[in-house]
Amino acid sequence: MQIQNQEWAQSTLTRIEAKMARVVARNRHIIPYTTDQAGHFQDMDVQNPYWWTNGFWGGILWQLYHLTNDQLYREEAIEVEEKLDRNLQRSECLDHDNGFKWGLTAVAHYRILRDQAAKNRGMLAAENLAGRFNLNGRYLRAWNDLPDQNRSGIVIIDCMMNLPLLYWASEETQDPRFKQVAVAHAKTAQAHIVRPDGSVKHIIEFDPVSGEYLRSDGGQGYGHGSSWTRGQAWGIYGFTLSYEATKDESFLNTARQIAQYFIANTPADHLIPIDFRMPKEPWWEDDTAAAIAASGLIELAKHVAEADAAIYLNAAVALLKTLVEQRCNWDQETDNLLTKCSASYFEDQHEYPIIYGDYFFIEALTKLAGQDINLW
């Protein structure tokens, strides 16, 4: 069974490589987020050079470089990394998403080619991220302030995916501070974000002075008390990565709890909605949640007994096969892969291409094919 899955993933990756060779060749010198109506990437570096997703294109390029050794991918990935330097000049443009931005660009570059300038960028990003730690609340603040809102008490589930930057910094420097901060944050998220049924909240808020837990808010899912699927996926993957970095069994158990909840709530057609608790109408999907959950489940399967691993792998394969057969655009003249991604329940647009959906889709397939590089 797993051999069949591996062969299927490899043949799917071969199709992706053929398409992406065309896509990258005609999309040089940009940082995509989504496409226009004609299926052509737009340049997010022009629209917002500080946007949290601006590292994912670099991640896709490093994955493709690893698969093919084509130097074009390496050159384009380094260009993305260099463009991100503008973020490092503006403290108000640095936030907890430093992990997403530099983990998949500078740190990936350093991991693959041992480039010293890339290591320096990764360390600057890690030091800034560690500086967001609130000592009394034992959390990393998520976002920066709005003109009319102090957001120093806000924590979100997504941050679990930014912790690997800190684990990497400790490993690289042999200075335990970064890991200590990451573990403290993960423990806080475990205590306050994960519900007893394995679902996760999106946003929680602390008193930033006393550190006291105050409340949870709705966020990008349907609302307070709901179950935003991308948040569930960040939880599966993020707690698995914290387990890998620490070997703390409680993180593994939390990842398993969220995974069980995700699998139990996955619809029979394996098409993932934006929120597991949203009304039946309107029904909008989010392919990013499916792709992130698939990659997280494959990662989680590495750490559990065979019978449980089979459950996680089968769930991941079902998600990926559904994306490949029903939600992937294989036309080589169209830039995106996944077609029905949704950033948020309460936004005007739903079910469109989003770059991090494509990143995790490719990443999950590389893992299933036994071709992965560890970029987290």
Name which of 158 and 358 has its Cβ closer to ligand GLY.
158
Using Cβ positions, the residue closest to ligand GLY within the complex turns out to be: 158
Asked whether position 355 contacts ligand GLY by CB under 6 A, the answer is no
Q: Catalytic residue at 158?
A: yes
Name which of 230 and 303 has its Cβ closer to ligand GLY.
230
From the CB of 373, what's the least distance to ligand GLY, in Å? 22
Name which of 334 and 336 has its Cβ closer to ligand GLY.
336
Asked whether position 303 contacts ligand GLY by CB under 6 A, the answer is no
Asked whether position 272 contacts ligand GLY by CB under 6 A, the answer is no
Q: Catalytic residue at 331?
A: no
Name which of 5 and 128 has its Cβ closer to ligand GLY.
128
Name which of 182 and 233 has its Cβ closer to ligand GLY.
233
Among 158, 244, 286, 335, binds ligand GLY (CB under 6 A): 158
From the CB of 176, what's the least distance to ligand GLY, in Å? 27
Asked whether position 141 contacts ligand GLY by CB under 6 A, the answer is no
Among 343, 368, 369, 375, binds ligand GLY (CB under 6 A): 343
Asked whether position 299 contacts ligand GLY by CB under 6 A, the answer is no
From the CB of 355, what's the least distance to ligand GLY, in Å? 12
Catalytic residue among 158, 275, 287, 372: 158
From the CB of 139, what's the least distance to ligand GLY, in Å? 16
Which residues 215-234 are close enough to bind ligand GLY by CB under 6 A? 220, 230
Name which of 108 and 274 has its Cβ closer to ligand GLY.
274
- Interface size with ligand GLY, residues (CB under 6 A): 4
DSSP collapsed to 3 states, the chain:
CHHHHHHHHHHHHHHHHHHHHHHHHHCCCCCEEEECCCCCEEEHHHHCCCCCCCCHHHHHHHHHHHHHCCHHHHHHHHHHHHHCHHHHCCHHHCCCCHHHHHHHHHHHHHHHHCCHHHHHHHHHHHHHHHCCEECCCCEECCCCCECCECCCCEEEHHHHHCHHHHHHHHHHHCCCHHHHHHHHHHHHHHHHCECCCCCECCEEEECCCCCCEEEEECCCCCCCCCCEHHHHHHHHHHHHHHHHHHCCHHHHHHHHHHHHHHHHHCCCCCCCECECCCCCCCCCECHHHHHHHHHHHHHHHCCCCHHHHHHHHHHHHHHHHHHHHHHECCCCCCCCCECCECCCCCCCCCCECCHHHHHHHHHHHHHHCCCCCCCC
Catalytic residue among 97, 275, 286, 287: 97
Give the residues lining the site for ligand GLY (CB under 6 A). 158, 220, 230, 343
Annotated catalytic residues are 97, 158
